Structure 1
Amino acid sequence: MSSDEDLTPKTETQLIAAIYERAQARKRERVAGAPEVGIFWVVDGKAVILGEPLGEAESWGEFKNYSQGHDREWSRFLQRNGIVPRDSEYDDYPRGRVVYNTITGSFNLIADKCILKDKSMAQKVLAELHLPSQTTTESDPHYKCQKCGG
């Protein structure tokens, strides 16, 4: 039996307890101001930011990354909960992500040029995800909104 199997909840009660403990651990990290990786959009002038602590982030080579993609979170969570327009697509709005480089120990905010040009919006993302002032920023052709061509 592997160590992963030993930690797998066996009953519904154990599963609920595990989910609760994970939520409490995340809450403690957020209260402590621990830096997070995440994905974000600017929708009608407002930042929509989803983050998670490094301990929950997915490993992608040398990077720690938010565990879900923009497309999935847009339809699964944001549209379903009325946070964004139901008749919209995830790439209709400026977007970006924050990753953590495990080799350099640094965070990188990668976003549509529209977001990077708006210093106050970029600062909002940095603050919400508790990122250090040394966080680098860059644009990427992948993050081009349809409205401005970012």
Structure 2
Amino acid sequence: MRPTPQVGIFWLVPAPCAPVLLCDSTPLPQAEPYGVCLGHPRGHFETWEAWRALGMHGLARLGLPACILDHEYEDFPRGRIVYQRDSEEFIIYADPRLHRPRLRRSILARFALEPVPVRFAVDAHYRRC
């Protein structure tokens, strides 16, 4: 049985051995309507601040990196995945730095988006100045 595709938000953050993809996701059947799309109910800022509120021990318990405590949510490349109902495809809006083939494969695998219709897009909202 294939895993259920998900919508959500993600970041690529530094870690001691290699960068880590941090994700917060919702299975498509539980996604919330937003115009012609279905999306994740939580935003980047809200999720990041909830993680920061956990403190060092709470982050460690969840396997999240400590860098969350010392940085703002917009300090790292990030993106969002939505499902567009009219075209029946998932759209991955992400910082251009996350469009490398290896990272694309990681994002697709983490959100169970293989082999469903997917389109990667660049959105100025996720670009770091």
TM-score (norm 1): 0.71
Is 2:113 aligned against 1:126?
A: no
Structure 2: which 5+ runs fail to align? none
What secondary structure, in the 3-state scheme, does the structure 1 residue paired with 2:112 have? coil
Aligned partner of 1:35 in structure 2 is 5
- Distance change (3 Å), C-alpha of 1:78 and 1:121: farther
Q: CA RMSD in A?
A: 1.6
CA spacing shift, 1:79–1:110, aligned 2, 3 Å: farther
Measured after TM superposition, the shift of residue 138 of structure 1 is: 0.8
**1:77 Cα deviation (Å)?**
2.7
- Alignment match, 1:112: 95
SS of the residue aligned with 2:8? strand
Cross-structure match for 1:99: 82
| Residue 74 (str. 1) matches residue 48 (str. 2) | yes
Q: 2:126 is matched by which residue type in structure 1?
A: Y
Structure 1: 5+ residue stretches without partners: 1-30
Q: Which has the larger radius of gyration?
A: 1
CA distance in 1, matches of 2:92, 2:53: 24
* Residue type at the aligned position of 1:105: E
The question of 1:46 aligning with 2:46 is answered no
Return the alpha-carbon distance in structure 2 between the equivalents of residues 119 and 137 of structure 1. 11
* Paired amino acid for 1:121: L
Structure of greater relative contact order (alpha carbons < 8 Å, 6+ residues apart):
2
1:140 alignment partner in structure 2: 123
- From the superposition, tell whether residues 142 and 75 of structure 1 become closer, same or farther in structure 2 (CA, over 3 Å): same
- Match of 2:102, as an amino acid? S
State, as a whole percentage, how many aligned pairs show the same letter: 30
Which has the larger strand fraction? Answer: 2
Secondary structure in structure 1 of the residue aligned to 2:102? helix
The letter for the 1-side match of 2:106 is: K
Q: Which runs of 4+ in 1 moved over 3 A?
A: none
SS at 2:73 equivalent: coil
**Count of paired positions:** 115
What is the TM-score when the length of structure 2 is the normalising length? 0.82
Identify the match of residue 55 of structure 1 among 20, 29, 35: 29
